[in-house]
Structure 1
């Protein structure tokens, strides 16, 4: 791959890496698994990047690849992400500090969201990222109406979990 493509990828990834961290947080239980999943998502993004046509925003495309990677790995029953060496890639990504300490309410909310199925988790994540229903539907490959209905059901389910 050209240096221009590599530079473009690294710039986009650095600017949007919080998306990947948030997805990792939803689908992992500890920092080691978080780091492994982050690495695997980064590898999948890098492999898919030459095919990114720019039909959607980079962040929308990134959500889709990252969520699909996380869902695929955990649907296969893997609790540990199998990592692999990625030879020939020399770029370094400046990682932001990942702060594992959060307020108690945020932990409760994340724990409640973790009880949801994989697709519902992804929908909540995108909703919390202030994505509109059209963007959520596009990212998840469902209709806008279906996204709205699912989100209303999920909100009710989360209310019951958080306020028994």
Structure 2
């Protein structure tokens, strides 16, 4: 790869790295797993970058690679026993930004999301990122109608999880 291509990649990654962190937060249970997944996604982005044609926005392409990497690793990790429960994770949120109610709501939301399938997690993640259904469909490689239907089903499923 040329130095110019390398500089473009690093600039884009730095600009959009929060996307990768958010994906990591959805699919991991602790800091070490988060760091490992972040590194793996970065490696996959780097490997795939020469093939990025620019047909979509870099961020849309980045979502797709990050989610596919996370889903692949998540499926592999399901074979291993979970070593840390989600409830044990400490949120590092300053008291000025969030009161206890917001923190509890976040914990409940993440705990609910953890119960969804890997594809459902990806859809919820993109929805929570304020992506419209067209962008969700493009990122996930499905039709816009399919994205809407799946999201409605996920909302119903999450309500059932929250209110059995």
TM-score, normalised via structure 2 length: 0.84
The residue that corresponds to 1:8 in the other structure is 8
What are the superposed Cα offsets for residues 15-69 of structure 1, whole Å, 9 maximum, x if unpaired? Answer: 1111111111111100000000000000000010011110000000000000000
- CA–CA separation in structure 1 for the residues paired with 2:39 and 2:78: 15
- SS of the residue corresponding to residue 73 of structure 2 reads helix
Aligned length: 146
What are the superposed Cα offsets for residues 67-119 of structure 1, whole Å, 9 maximum, x if unpaired? Answer: 00011112123678xxxxxxxxxxxxxxxxxx942522112101101100000
The residue that corresponds to 2:152 in the other structure is 152
Pair 78,155 (structure 1): closer, same or farther in 2 beyond 3 Å: closer
Gaps of 5+ in 2: 81-89, 94-102
Gaps of 5+ in 1: 81-98
The root-mean-square deviation of aligned C-alpha atoms, in Å, is 1.7
- SS of the residue corresponding to residue 130 of structure 1 reads coil
Higher helix share goes to which structure?
A: 2
- CA–CA separation in structure 1 for the residues paired with 2:121 and 2:72: 13
- CA–CA separation in structure 2 for the residues paired with 1:141 and 1:2: 30
* 2:101 is the alignment partner of 1:110: no
TM-score, normalised via structure 1 length: 0.84
The residue that corresponds to 2:50 in the other structure is 50
Pair 100,7 (structure 1): closer, same or farther in 2 beyond 3 Å: farther
- 5 Å-filtered alignment, 1:7-156, equals 7-77=7-77, 100-102=91-93, 103-156=103-156
